[in-house]
C-alpha cells in the first residue's frame, strides 16, 4: 500500500514538473525579425504598430515613421512571449486611418510585409512561385513622365584589364508595370566580391541602346549600384526577388521586396 502511494506521489510530482516546464517554455521570450518594404506614395506619413507596440515619433527619434512620397525600408526586432494573434498595421498620421493590416506569422523567426501605395491605391506585387532551376527577378519602375520602353542590364569594367562586361537582365520593359524574368547567374557577375569591387551597376537605357539613359537622360537616375540589389550569385537558385524603383528627383530609391535573412 505504501509503495502504491509513493508511486502515485511520484507520478504527480513528475506531471507537475512537466507542466511547470511546459508553462515556462510557453512564456519564454521569443524574437521575430520584421521587415517592412515598399513605397508610400500618399501625401501623409505612416506610423508602424506591431500588436500593442506603437513606433511613433518618440521612438528612436522618429526613425520608424514612413515619410510621404518615399521608399519604405523598416527592420524591427520584435520580442514577445505567449502565442496569440498579433497584427502589424500602418496608420496614416493625419487621418488616423489604418491603411495596411496583416497578421504576424505564427511561431516564426521572421516576417516580411510589402506595402506599395501608388496612384491612390495599393499596388499588388503578384510575385511568381519559386523555381528550383532558376531565379526570378521582378521590376516595377515608377516613372510617370514617360511610357517609353527601356532595357535593364548589368555593367562593369575589369579594374585590371579595362575589359567591359554587359549582361542584359530584361529588355523592352515599360514603366508602371511589373516585369518578371528568369535570372541565371552570369559568369562575369557571379559573386558579390566581383560585383562590389568593380563598382558594377544596373543600367536603365532606352530600348535598343546602351548609352541613352532612360530617365530624364540622366545617368545618376538611370543607374544603380548592383551591390544594392543583393542579386543571386553562383550556385544560388530558387530565389524570387521583386524590386520597386523610383528615379524621381525628390524620392529616388530602390526597395527590395524580399527577405532572405541568411543572405542579407
pLDDT for res 8: 52
CA–CA distance, 95 with 103 (Å, rounded to integer): 22
pTM over 0.75: yes
Q: Find the range with the poorest average confidence among 16-30, 121-135, 196-210.
A: 16-30
Give the number of other CB atoms < 10 A from CB of residue 219.
14
Helix, strand, or coil (residue 163): coil
The pLDDT assigned to 248 comes to 78
pLDDT in the model for residue 81? 86
Q: In this model, does residue 38 exceed pLDDT 90? A: yes
Task: Answer whether residue 21 shows pLDDT above 70.
Answer: no
Res 44: pLDDT: 97
pLDDT band for 92, please (50, 70, 90 cuts): very high
Q: Give the separation between CA 71 and CA 170, rounded to whole angstroms.
A: 23
Give the β-pairing of 164-173 and 121-122.
unpaired
Amino acid at each position: 500500500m505504501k509503495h502504491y502511494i509513493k508511486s502515485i506521489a511520484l507520478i504527480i510530482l513528475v506531471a507537475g514538473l512537466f507542466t511547470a516546464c511546459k508553462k515556462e517554455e510557453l512564456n519564454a521570450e521569443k524574437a521575430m525579425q520584421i521587415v517592412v518594404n515598399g513605397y508610400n506614395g500618399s501625401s501623409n506619413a505612416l506610423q508602424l504598430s506591431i500588436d500593442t507596440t506603437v513606433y511613433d515619433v518618440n521612438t528612436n527619434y522618429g526613425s520608424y515613421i514612413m515619410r510621404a512620397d518615399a521608399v519604405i525600408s523598416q527592420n524591427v526586432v520584435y520580442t514577445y512571449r505567449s502565442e496569440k494573434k498579433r497584427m502589424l498595421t500602418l496608420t496614416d498620421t493625419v487621418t488616423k486611418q489604418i491603411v495596411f493590416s496583416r497578421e504576424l506569422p505564427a511561431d516564426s523567426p521572421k516576417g516580411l510585409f510589402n506595402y506599395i501605395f501608388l496612384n491612390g491605391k495599393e499596388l499588388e506585387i503578384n510575385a511568381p512561385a519559386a523555381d528550383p532551376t532558376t531565379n526570378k527577378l521582378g521590376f516595377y519602375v515608377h516613372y510617370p513622365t514617360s511610357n517609353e520602353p527601356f532595357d535593364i542590364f548589368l555593367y562593369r569594367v575589369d579594374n585590371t584589364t579595362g575589359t567591359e562586361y554587359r549582361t542584359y537582365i530584361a529588355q523592352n520593359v515599360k514603366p508602371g508595370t511589373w516585369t518578371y524574368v528568369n535570372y541565371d547567374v552570369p559568369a562575369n557577375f557571379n559573386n558579390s566580391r566581383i560585383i562590389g569591387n568593380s563598382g558594377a551597376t544596373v543600367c536603365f537605357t532606352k530600348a535598343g541602346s546602351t548609352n541613352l539613359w532612360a530617365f530624364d537622360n540622366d545617368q545618376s537616375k538611370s543607374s544603380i549600384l548592383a551591390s544594392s540589389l543583393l542579386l543571386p550569385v553562383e550556385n544560388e537558385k530558387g530565389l524570387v526577388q521583386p524590386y520597386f524603383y523610383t528615379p524621381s528627383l525628390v524620392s529616388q530609391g530602390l526597395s527590395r521586396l524580399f527577405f532572405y535573412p541568411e543572405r542579407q
